[in-house]
Amino acid sequence: MNSNYVPACAVWELTLACNLGCLHCGSTAGGRRAAELSPAEALALCDDLKSAGCRGVALMGGEPLLRPDFFAIASRVRELGMELSVITNGTIHSEEIFAGLRELRPRAVAVSLDAADPALHDRIRGMRGAFEKASGFIARCLSEGLPVSVITTVHKLNIKELPALRGLLKGRGIAWQVQTAGGEGGRFSREFLLDKEEFYAVGLFVEACRREFTPEELPVIGAHDLGYHSGLLKNVALYEKWEGCQAGISVAGIRSDGGVMGCLAMNDENYVEGNVRVSSFREIWNRPGGFAYSRGFKKEDAGPNCAGCPELETCRGGCSEMSLMKTGRLHNDPYCFRSIEEYLPELKPAGWRGALNGLAGPEVFRRLGRFFSGGRGGEQAK
């Protein structure tokens, strides 16, 4: 029996093994999980995903290229007609890898780049020379004609790098996804998480880039969970409209030990819905009552941050991961743009609102530009 939900995209952690030790890594990757799926199990899972109606698969890690059967799995995904994205730290290079990627005709090869300053990127990523390697990986992918994107994960250590990264990426045909760090990882001190103003400033930065550059010059998006229902900003994500957390609705996360979740970012055993070693992905996805926190949402489930919000019915209380991380419960995201705009006094004056709506940019970005350019208390223009 099929549920009414189609898994448009499965985000699959192929392995938790990683050659880096990134500070903000939400899954504290490094070593493999004890019971990683075998090559045969991984290939069977590809078939299983297809039979569940999955349209696209994003292979990530850890570092997915460390899995010796990476290309066998990725090829199977493509042979089955599913779209393929690969998310890599860009530090593992070989002729075989670039030739293999070219052959796969992926929808995207996404490389993590957290700073334009090589030393800072290396510090965040936990490897000397990581910046140089990732930059070389990006350049080689571009020369191979691969669709390259860069993912930047923002926290207090690198928020000021955004303008320099913009300079590094613009005009090169690189899609740029800006996302914010969560606090689940064991190497990341929560003191580095963005506060509400900084989080909003990242949204403003994305908006500013979109106003300044055409999509051809700099295709930039915020991650799908970067703020929503703003009264001032367009949706900074790829989609026109935020339709609530898609965990278990149109998105699935699969751990390298076969655990199936709505979203890997939630990184909590309580949200593992089953394991493909016990039941097929298709059965888990279609199980009546599955993914209850998403599919079975009722207005009464909302926490105090969201109760009474006019957007609640479709929003369902924002990003589940952010809500859990910040408040310890679901449907209670304190970081949506709608509620931040209520909270930030400097967004209240009509003049401010008018300036933004009128695309007058400079004044707006001068005010919040301090987040990118220097001291939080100063008024330095960007």
Residues that bind ligand SF4 (CB under 6 A): 224-225, 229, 245-247, 251, 263, 265-266, 305-306, 309, 311-312, 315, 317-321, 333, 336, 338-339
Question: Cα(335)–Cα(343) distance, rounded to whole angstroms?
Answer: 10
Report the nearest approach of ligand SF4 to the CB of residue 266 (Å).
Answer: 6
Report the nearest approach of ligand SF4 to the CB of residue 268 (Å).
Answer: 11
Instruction: Give the strand pairing for 251-254 and 9-13.
Output: parallel
Q: Map tokens 């799995």 to a residue.
A: 73
* Secondary structure (DSSP) of 215-260: TTT--EEE-TTS----SSSPP-SSSSS-----BTTTEEEE-TTSEE
Question: Cα(82)–Cα(62) distance, rounded to whole angstroms?
Answer: 22
Tokens coding 195: 């506060």
Tokens coding 345: 């006094």
Q: Which is nearer to ligand SF4, 248 or 369 (CB)?
A: 248
Count of CB atoms within 10 A of residue 51's CB? 12
Question: Cα(82)–Cα(56) distance, rounded to whole angstroms?
Answer: 5
Report the nearest approach of ligand SF4 to the CB of residue 198 (Å).
Answer: 18
Please report the beta strands in the chain, taking only residues with DSSP state E, as ranges in sequence order: 9-13, 56-60, 83-88, 108-112, 148-154, 175-180, 220-222, 251-254, 259-261, 272-275
Pick the closest to residue 371 from 177, 197, 236, 207 (CA basis).
197
Q: Which is nearer to ligand SF4, 195 or 217 (CB)?
A: 195
Q: Which is nearer to ligand SF4, 19 or 179 (CB)?
A: 179
Report the nearest approach of ligand SF4 to the CB of residue 248 (Å).
Answer: 8
Please name every residue paired with 176 in a beta bridge, in sequence order, or none if there are none: 150, 220
Q: Which is nearer to ligand SF4, 15 or 180 (CB)?
A: 180
Please answer whether residues 33 and 273 qualify as being in contact, where contact means their C-beta atoms are separated by less than 8 angstroms. Answer: no
Q: Which is nearer to ligand SF4, 121 or 229 (CB)?
A: 229
Q: Which is nearer to ligand SF4, 43 or 309 (CB)?
A: 309
Report the nearest approach of ligand SF4 to the CB of residue 226 (Å).
Answer: 10
Q: Which is nearer to ligand SF4, 130 or 325 (CB)?
A: 325
Report the nearest approach of ligand SF4 to the CB of residue 179 (Å).
Answer: 9
Q: Map tokens 């078939």 to a residue.
A: 47
Q: Which is nearer to ligand SF4, 19 or 320 (CB)?
A: 320
Q: Map tokens 């700099």 to a residue.
A: 218
Report the nearest approach of ligand SF4 to the CB of residue 143 (Å).
Answer: 32
Q: Map tokens 């029996």 to a residue.
A: 1
Report the nearest approach of ligand SF4 to the CB of residue 117 (Å).
Answer: 27
Report the nearest approach of ligand SF4 to the CB of residue 13 (Å).
Answer: 13
Question: Cα(139)–Cα(127) distance, rounded to whole angstroms?
Answer: 20
Report the nearest approach of ligand SF4 to the CB of residue 157 (Å).
Answer: 21
Residues 101, 102, 103, 107: what is their CA dihedral angle, to the nearest 10 degrees?
A: 80
Q: Which is nearer to ligand SF4, 283 or 311 (CB)?
A: 311
Q: Which is nearer to ligand SF4, 162 or 330 (CB)?
A: 330
